[in-house]
Chain A
């Protein structure tokens, strides 16, 4: 039972902003939105998470719509090293397990 919907693939020009959408229309009030990425076959890497407010850290920004049914991960200046599969996950705090879908394969093009 997929909780999130992401496009299977996206391209982004190097140096431009990469905007990765995620639909989570059935999100519950206590569920957070998490973003992880996996570069080739490396271990997944935590990027950012949020509940309802927009969040920013050194890696990315997370924009969550007011109704919380969708969100966008923004990589402000994509580099070739950002080429990876990006996973959007909704999870209640303290649920302990992350349920990964198929994610979005982002290709950053020179």
Chain B
């Protein structure tokens, strides 16, 4: 158990719909990362937040957005869903090292499996 929690575990929805995935980081961690893992693309970095602010962006589609709240939990919003968005979505967190920095040692949650029908 990494200490990172994600809800829901499974989500089944239809094309065109919108869903929200939730992540609670480990206690004391300020950084939250989102990754997508699909069969054909492997694990891909989507976005990172540090203490409420967006820090880095990867291959995140414009239909996707995220935010980190004052209590440090994060949500990933996926809209206008397509069949190809079916994937495992992982959240990770990492502890702060020094001022406004994070290590690359990331602790991953169990993931949310999204199925778009």
CB distance from B32 to the nearest CB of A (A): 11
Contact present for A43 and B42 (CB under 8 Å): no
Contact present for B109 and A43 (CB under 8 Å): yes
In the bound assembly, the distance between CA atoms of A62 and B88 in angstroms comes to: 29
Q: A43-B90, A43-B110 are in contact. Are A100 and B43 (CB under 8 A)?
A: yes
Chain B residue with minimal CB distance to A100?
Answer: B43
Interfacial chain A residues near B18, Cβ < 8 Å: none
Q: Does B24 contact A (CB under 8 A)?
A: no
Chain B window 79-117, contacts with chain A (Cβ cutoff 8 Å), 1 for yes, 0 for no: 000000000101010000000011111111111010000
Interface size (A, Cβ < 8 Å)? 22
Q: Does B58 contact A (CB under 8 A)?
A: yes
Contact present for B45 and A44 (CB under 8 Å): no
Tell me the interface secondary structure of chain B in the complex: strand
Cβ < 8 Å to A, chain B residues 14-31: 31
Residue of B4, B45, B58, B106 most packed against chain A (CB within 10 A)? B106
A98 interface neighbour in B31, B45, B101, Cβ under 8 Å: B45
Chain A residue with minimal CB distance to B109?
Answer: A43
Contact present for B105 and A43 (CB under 8 Å): no
Interfacial chain A residues near B92, Cβ < 8 Å: 43-44
CB distance from B25 to the nearest CB of A (A): 13
Q: Does A94 contact B (CB under 8 A)?
A: yes
Cβ < 8 Å to B, chain A residues 76-97: 87, 91, 93-97
- The interface of chain A, by Cβ under 8 A from chain B, is 32, 34, 38, 41-46, 49, 87, 91, 93-102
